[in-house]
Amino acid sequence: THPSFPERLTAGSPLLTAWCGMPDPSVAGILAREAFDAVVMDMQHGSIDFAAALQAVPLIAAAGKPALVRIPVGDFASASRFLDAGVSGVIAPMINTIEDARRFAGFMKFPPVGERSWGAYGALSLSGLEPGEYLQRANHLTVSFAMVETREALAIIDDILAVPGIDGIFIGPSDLSIALSGGKGLDPTSAEVEKALDHALARVKAAGKVAAIYAVSGGRAAQLVRKGFHMVSIGSDISMLRAGAAAALAAARA
């Protein structure tokens, strides 16, 4: 039996994920066939809707990769629905209070940890597990990432990490840069952000949980991998499309 997604996250070699927001499920399916370790669909800022994101899950699975989703702010009920469809991880943006973290975890985990409700039909189909076995294992097969991307969240990161059912932290460096600069600028690699993410990374590791982060480019992802993050998402499908188009046109006009 091959290792589960949570086991792979902490096995040693960091995972690099695609980041998709385009509305057609085939975009996620195509990126899943590149050398990414997993694919994230972004429903907070992407234009992919609920039905398309659900359709992408088996396309990503057919490429042998775990599917993850970033849900819209506060839409914790959708986390359960994506788990039912068979995603391996859910990223919840703007977790700024312990209450946010508790509510998110509640929808991510079956009792006694949370209050996830039964109906994992897609997950059963994709995993081939018997319902009883899935129920026994589900809390350890999927990963809940609470996003830390504000001053409030940074201040209570140890408490967020201590919430039962929160498996890891996903840092949003862009929003963090806006918060830390008091709205003055967007600079996800500023010295201030760098210091904050080093601190957050150390706290996550001290708690024995999973540390993930978003990178705007492959080069930035390499730096974040060297820092010791378990998972780095490289964004986005639109920026990759634009970069590919710009490179093709520059070559054509050279």
* Site for Mg ion, residues 184 to 243, rule: CB under 5 A: none
Please check whether residue 213 is in contact with residue 194, taking contact to mean a CB–CB distance below 8 angstroms: no
Residues touching Mg ion, count (CB under 5 A): 3
Q: How far is residue 99's CA from residue 120's CA, in Å, rounded to a whole number?
A: 25
The answer to the question of residue 106 lying near ligand 3PY (CB under 6 A) is no
Question: Quick one: which segment of 132-140, 153-161, 171-179, 222-230 binds ligand 3PY (CB under 6 A)?
Answer: 171-179
The answer to the question of residue 237 lying near ligand 3PY (CB under 6 A) is no
Question: Quick one: which segment of 25-33, 118-126, 168-176, 243-251 binds ligand 3PY (CB under 6 A)?
Answer: 168-176
The answer to the question of residue 86 lying near Mg ion (CB under 5 A) is no
Please state at what angle helix 25-32 crosses helix 50-62, rounded to 10 degrees: 20
Q: Which of 59, 172, 204, 211 binds ligand 3PY (CB under 6 A)?
A: 172
Shortest Cβ 16–ligand 3PY spacing (Å): 15
Q: How far is residue 87's CA from residue 7's CA, in Å, rounded to a whole number?
A: 15
Prior bond of 6 cis (ω within 30°):
no
Q: Which of 214, 215, 221, 240 binds ligand 3PY (CB under 6 A)?
A: 214
**Tokens matching residue 118:** 């039964």
Indicate if the alpha-carbon torsion angle 95, 236, 232, 179 is positive or negative: negative
Which of 120/176 has CB closer to Mg ion?
Answer: 176
45 as an active site residue: the answer is yes
- The C-alpha angle 73, 77, 80, rounded to 5 degrees, equals 120
Please check whether residue 38 is in contact with residue 9, taking contact to mean a CB–CB distance below 8 angstroms: no
Residues 6+ apart with CB under 8 A from 137: 129
The answer to the question of residue 175 lying near ligand 3PY (CB under 6 A) is yes
- String of contacts with ligand 3PY for each residue 26-55, x by CB under 6 A: ------------------------------
* Total Cβ atoms within 10 A of residue 215: 23
Q: Which of 45, 140, 199, 230 is catalytic?
A: 45
- String of contacts with Mg ion for each residue 148-187, x by CB under 5 A: -x----------------------x--x------------
SS3 at position 12: coil
The answer to the question of residue 145 lying near ligand 3PY (CB under 6 A) is no
Radius of gyration of the chain (CA): 18
Residues contributing to the site for ligand 3PY (CB under 6 A): 93, 149, 172-175, 188, 214
